Structure 1
Amino acid sequence: MNEPDSMFRLDGKVVLVTGASRGMGQAIAVALAGAGADVIGVARGDMVATRCAVEATGARFLALAADLSQGACVPPLVDQAHAWQGRLNVLVNNAGIVRRGVALGVSEADWDVVINVNLRSVFLLSQAVARCFIEQGSGGKIINTASMLSFQGGIRVPAYTASKSAVMGLTKALANEWAPHGINVNAIAPGYIATELTSLLQQDEQRCAEITARIPAGRWGRPDDVAGAAVFLASRASDYVHGHTLAVDGGWLAR
Structure 2
Amino acid sequence: MSNVSTPAESGATPRLALVTGGGGGIGATVCQELALAGFRVVVSDVDAGRAGRVADELGAPHAAHAFDVSDEASVERAFDEIETRHGPIAVLVSAAGLLLFQENGERPLIKDTTLDIWERSFAVNARGVFLCGRAYLRRREAAPVAHGRIITFTSVAAQLGGYRSSASYIAAKSAVLGLTKAMARESAHLGVTVNGIAPGLIDTDMLRSTVTSSGALAAAAQAIPLGRIGTVDDVAAAVRFLASEAAGYITGSVIDVNGGYRMQ
Distance in 1 between the 2:13 and 2:170 partners? 36
Contact 1:11 1:35 in 2 (8 A): no
Q: Which amino acid aligns with 2:161?
A: G
Q: Note if 1:200 corresponds to 2:201.
A: no
- Report the alpha carbon displacement of residue 49 of structure 1 after superposing the two structures with TM: 3.6
**Corresponding residue number in structure 2 for 1:113:** 120
C-alpha deviations, 1:99-145, integer Å up to 9, x for none? 23111111101100100100001011001111222222225100001
SS for the counterpart of 1:137 is coil
Distance in 2 between the 1:51 and 1:164 partners? 27
C-alpha deviations, 1:205-228, integer Å up to 9, x for none? 565344212111211111111111
Distance in 2 between the 1:33 and 1:11 partners? 13
Distance in 1 between the 2:241 and 2:205 partners? 25
Q: Note if 1:128 corresponds to 2:128.
A: no
SS for the counterpart of 1:202 is coil
- Report the alpha carbon displacement of residue 65 of structure 1 after superposing the two structures with TM: 1.4
Query: CA 1:149–1:138 in structure 2 vs 1: closer, same or farther (change >3 Å)?
Result: same
Distance in 2 between the 1:49 and 1:214 partners? 36
* 1:31 paired residue among 33, 39, 44: 33
Q: Which amino acid aligns with 2:136?
A: V
Taking structure 2 as the reference length, the TM-score comes to 0.86
Q: Note if 1:158 corresponds to 2:170.
A: no
**Corresponding residue number in structure 1 for 2:8:** none
* 1:236 paired residue among 235, 245, 248: 245
SS for the counterpart of 1:47 is helix
Contact 2:45 2:68 in 1 (8 A): yes
Q: Note if 1:178 corresponds to 2:187.
A: yes
Distance in 1 between the 2:52 and 2:74 partners? 22
Higher relative contact order (CA 8 A, sep 6+): 1
RMSD over aligned Cα atoms: 1.8
Q: Which amino acid aligns with 1:162?
A: A
C-alpha deviations, 1:27-73, integer Å up to 9, x for none? 00110000111111111222344123322xxx522211122233331
**Corresponding residue number in structure 1 for 2:16:** 14
Distance in 2 between the 1:217 and 1:50 partners? 31
C-alpha deviations, 1:70-93, integer Å up to 9, x for none? 333111011111112221100000
Count of paired positions: 243
Q: Which amino acid aligns with 2:195?
A: N
Residues 173-182 or 62-71, more deviating: 62-71
- Report the alpha carbon displacement of residue 177 of structure 1 after superposing the two structures with TM: 1.1
Could you list the runs of 5+ residues in structure 2 that have no partner in the other structure? 1-11, 101-106
Residues 206-215 or 231-240, more deviating: 206-215
Query: CA 1:203–1:49 in structure 2 vs 1: closer, same or farther (change >3 Å)?
Result: farther
Could you list the runs of 5+ residues in structure 1 that have no partner in the other structure? 1-9
* 2:111 paired residue among 104, 118, 128: 104
Q: Which amino acid aligns with 2:54?
A: T
Contact 1:42 1:64 in 2 (8 A): yes
Taking structure 1 as the reference length, the TM-score comes to 0.89
Q: Note if 1:47 corresponds to 2:55.
A: no
**Corresponding residue number in structure 1 for 2:229:** 220
- Report the alpha carbon displacement of residue 200 of structure 1 after superposing the two structures with TM: 1.7
Query: CA 1:36–1:156 in structure 2 vs 1: closer, same or farther (change >3 Å)?
Result: closer
Distance in 2 between the 1:206 and 1:156 partners? 19
Contact 2:68 2:75 in 1 (8 A): no
Residues 156-165 or 129-138, more deviating: 129-138
